[in-house]
Structure 1
Amino acid sequence: MLVTPSIVAARYRAEIRQEIRALGTRLKVVGFLAGDYGPSLTYAEYTRNACEELGIAYELRVRNRLELEGAIGEANEDPAVHGIMVYYPVFGNEQDRYLKDVVDHRKDIEGLHSYWIRKLYENERLVDGAVAAGKAVVPCTALAVLKILEANGAYGASGTRPAEHKTVTIFNRSEVVGRPLAVMMSNDGARVYSFDEFGPMLYEVGQAVETEISRAEALAGSSMVITGVPSRAFPRIGAGEISPRTICLNFATIKNFSPEAEEKAELFIPRVGPVTVAMCMRNTLRLFRSYHAHRLAV
């Protein structure tokens, strides 16, 4: 039986709500939107609803994309703002990578700043904050994938290597989701095959090596298949490519599995959105404790 993303998100929101109430202060998150890209608008609405439910103040600031850098800088300097998120794509090219680093890493609730990415790739779980060491934040969607798998018994909930002896294939190697996810799962003990338009790589213990494995070979040997290809040109994964014991998860807005493959899989998870937003709220709390809570005592 599938434990849906909505149920998983509700569990985390309940925990976060209690922790926020115990703080005795009101957190504030600012979202930046440029353009009318449908998924971004939906994500912004999800964020607003989650913040309102948790007692977090949320403000959506709509800006022209050429004004965005300055607007983010203003939010960075505002002590009343504890978390910032930008709804991508903005330019749809390498300039978006630049914008991710414009956000102050101490307010980056999406975990996309290069500071956090380096922490992840070096497998550093803690960070020195303003007062004491706190937990590092990681990209929200990658973390959401793991939390959903964990809730459905497909991923270990404890220990240093909860994915020991698992083989995983991931179609997506973006710096936003796919590559961080491959690193996280391999650090947790999995053998991870990562595919994108430039070919396959193998991740083990956080490190990537070149491999010539084919799509068919990787899928046939995998207990989990995770996809996030935002293109209708991607050849959907068919029922004949996976075993009946495979756990399949699709985090793209476009279907990457055929209906027959979805039916054949031991478990098929079609989306992660609600949990992604919950993980952003979790990161907001972590960043507040590491970098902003000390101001309450001043």
Structure 2
Amino acid sequence: MTNIIDGRKIAKELNAKTKKRVEKLNAQGITPGIVVILIGDNPASIIYTRNKHRTAEKLGMKSILRKFPKDVSQTEVLQAIHHYNDDPTIHAILIQLPLPKHLNQTELIEAIAPEKDVDGFNSRNVGKLYNNEDGHYPVSCTSRGIMTLLHSYLDKIEGKNVTIVGRSILVSRPLQSLLINENATVTMVSLHTDNIDYYTKHADILVVAAGKPNLIKKDQVKPGATVIDVGINRTANHHLVGDVDFDDVKEVAENITPVPGGVGPMTIATLMQQTVDLCEWNR
């Protein structure tokens, strides 16, 4: 029988733990603070930032949603980032992606103080993850959320063959490092890979983050595999689907995430977790 990995349930449990940590800090006169920077009017980004803002407030954090018009200048956004870098009541800064094309994403992310870079995209934090450094530093919230899901359903990750479909710097590459750091054998492929089925069918853990709806079918999946679907795609009739054909693949997978209700809730819950992490690490 296939296990449907319940991201909402695990996220709820994680949020409950985070709330207790916030209450403990509150008792010491400390309130974790996060600012989410939203640029433009992308409908999906508006929904995501609103959910992040509301969740932070619900957990007792200070939450600021800083909005800019889509034609904002690079200088204006940089000034805002520097302002929050210097604000001792803000412990976490997040820039909602994607950005309008005229903005330099790399420069903006690099402007965030590494100790406030809650999504772990600053090159200093990326380097620490890549080098598997000891100590405290943030990593990609989605990638860490995926690791939490895997640990909830698997006894171990060490020794597993993992295939990641997709090569984004936001999810796939940090996830690759997290998995390698736990002694998994990781192969990363893309839509340009020849004979992609060979790699997907040999994976004990298959993570799909390619941005193509219903890309993976059951004949591409190893029986008994754990399948993590990172994709969020809206169909012509406005339904949300992942990069995995869920109804088809669940016939062969041992564990599988649904869309919605799988990885998505874990991203926000992990963002809250890491905001409190940053507050505790840097106070």
The TM-score bracket by the shorter chain reads 0.7 to 0.9
- The correspondence for 1:246, drawn from 218, 225, 228, is 225
Partner of 1:57: 62
Q: Deviations over 1:61-102 (max 9, x none)?
A: 111342322211211122222211110011358821222111
What is the 5 A alignment of 1:12-23? 12-23=14-25
Partner of 1:290: 281
CA distance in 1, matches of 2:12, 2:42: 26
**1:106 matched to 2:115:** yes
CA distance in 1, matches of 2:252, 2:45: 32
Q: CA deviation at 1:22?
A: 1.1
Which ranges of structure 1 fall in alignment gaps of 5 or more residues? 127-134, 157-161, 200-212, 294-298
Pairs aligned (count): 262
CA distance in 1, matches of 2:122, 2:265: 22
What is the 5 A alignment of 1:1-298? 1-23=3-25, 24=28, 25-64=30-69, 65-66=72-73, 67-92=76-101, 95-126=104-135, 135-151=136-152, 153-154=153-154, 156=155, 162-197=156-191, 199=193, 214-232=195-213, 236-254=215-233, 255-258=242-245, 259-270=247-258, 271-291=262-282, 293=283
Farther-moved stretch of structure 1 (82-91 vs 59-68): 59-68
CA distance in 2, matches of 1:237, 1:92: 30
Q: Deviations over 1:246-296 (max 9, x none)?
A: 1111112122122412443222203312111111112112211222x2xxx
| Alignment RMSD (CA, Å) | 1.9
| Structure 1 stretches of 4+ moved >4 Å | none
Q: Deviations over 1:192-249 (max 9, x none)?
A: 11012564xxxxxxxxxxxxx73121112111111112245xx711211113311111
Q: CA deviation at 1:3?
A: 4.2
Native 8 Å contact 1:46 1:274 kept in 2: no
Distance change in 2, residues 1:112/1:26 (3 Å): same
Distance change in 2, residues 1:3/1:221 (3 Å): closer
Q: CA deviation at 1:167?
A: 0.7
Residue identity in the other structure for 2:83: E
Residue identity in the other structure for 1:243: K
Distance change in 2, residues 1:94/1:60 (3 Å): closer
Partner of 1:296: none
Residue identity in the other structure for 2:55: A
CA distance in 1, matches of 2:39, 2:170: 18
Distance change in 2, residues 1:63/1:275 (3 Å): same
Partner of 2:237: none
Native 8 Å contact 1:31 1:84 kept in 2: yes
Name the SS of the counterpart of 1:10 in structure 2.
helix
Q: CA deviation at 1:57?
A: 1.4
CA distance in 1, matches of 2:101, 2:204: 33
CA distance in 2, matches of 1:93, 1:183: 30
TM, length-normalised to structure 2: 0.86
Q: Which has the higher contact order (CA 8 A, sep 6+)?
A: 2
Residue identity in the other structure for 2:208: T
